[in-house]
Amino acid sequence: MPEKVIPDIVVGRLPIYLRALQRMLAENRHVTSSQELGERLGISAAQIRKDLSQFGEFGKQGTGYSIDYLADQIRQILNVDKVWDIAVVGAGDIGSAVARYQGFANRGLQVAMIFDNDPGKIGTKIGPFTVQDIAELEPSIKQAGIKVAMIATPSEHAQEVAEQLISAGVQAILNYAPINLAVGEHVRVQYIDPVIHLQRMTYYL
């Protein structure tokens, strides 16, 4: 019996739902509906119900969804009911900002180590972390069992760094370098490049 495959586009919306639910909790709300959630996010109520129904039945007819319960369920689905350690590679402006970023708290992720190849940076402190020599990347990541990494190096080094990360056991990479990475089937990559987002909007100006 083959397990049902969830479309990636549905998986991609779950973190958005979760973020909105956590926001509602912060506003001291306890119950919501697919309609309200949809209005906040600019997504149709039907789509939200359809997406959630891929994973189970989380609501009650007539009343909607318990925010607390639904958030818990989505956290379990996304595997962020535990906390994943992240390795950051590159201690420049972006790597430093990421290492100090407060926004990971309570979202199932935390930075655990940061690497650079610049002798002038190795050994210095960034937030609570001491910058490690990139030569230690593979053993450190293997030893810690880290599966998630962020690349914040210049483009020229991103592919090479990705390969090291993968051979150290990393399976999910968030790449801030503006270049496409070639990786094997079993490795996930996501990209953050502000220019891509901006150019997508300048089209309409």
Question: Taking a C-beta distance cutoff of 8 angstroms, is the pair 144, 112 a contact?
Answer: yes
Per-residue tokens: 148: 């998630």
Binding mask 1-40 for DNA (x = CB under 7 A): ------xxxx----------------------xxx-----
Select the binding partner of residue 35 from DNA, its own copies, none (C-beta < 5 to 8 A, by kind). DNA
H-helix segments, 60-193: 67-77, 93-100, 137-144, 155-167
199 scored as a contact of its own copies (CB under 8 A): yes
Q: How many residues sit in the footprint of its own copies (CB under 8 A)?
A: 57
Question: Which lies closer to its own copies via its Cβ, residue 117 or residue 171?
Answer: 171
Binding mask 31-60 for its own copies (x = CB under 8 A): ---------xxx------------------
Measured CA to CA, the distance from residue 174 to residue 196 in angstroms comes to 15
Among DNA, its own copies, none, the one that 52 touches (CB under a kind-dependent 5 to 8 A) is DNA
Which of these, 129, 91, 98, lies nearest to 192 by C-alpha position?
98
Instruction: Please choose which of its own copies, DNA, none residue 166 contacts, taking the beta carbon within 5 to 8 angstroms, the exact cut-off set by kind.
Output: none
Q: Which does 57 bind (CB under 5 to 8 A by kind): its own copies, DNA, none?
A: DNA
Does position 86 interact with its own copies (CB under 8 A)? The reply is yes
* Tokens read off for 80: 């962020």
Token representation of residue 91: 């201690």
Q: How many CB atoms lie within 10 A of CB 162?
A: 24
Pairing state between β 109-116 and 132-133: parallel
What beta strand segments (E) does 81-151 contain?
84-89, 109-116, 125-126, 129-130, 132-133, 148-151
168 binds DNA (CB under 7 A): no
Give contact residues for its own copies (rule: CB under 8 A): 11-12, 14-16, 18-20, 23, 40-42, 77-80, 84, 86, 93-94, 96-98, 100-101, 103-104, 107-109, 147-148, 150, 155, 171-172, 174, 178-180, 188, 190-205
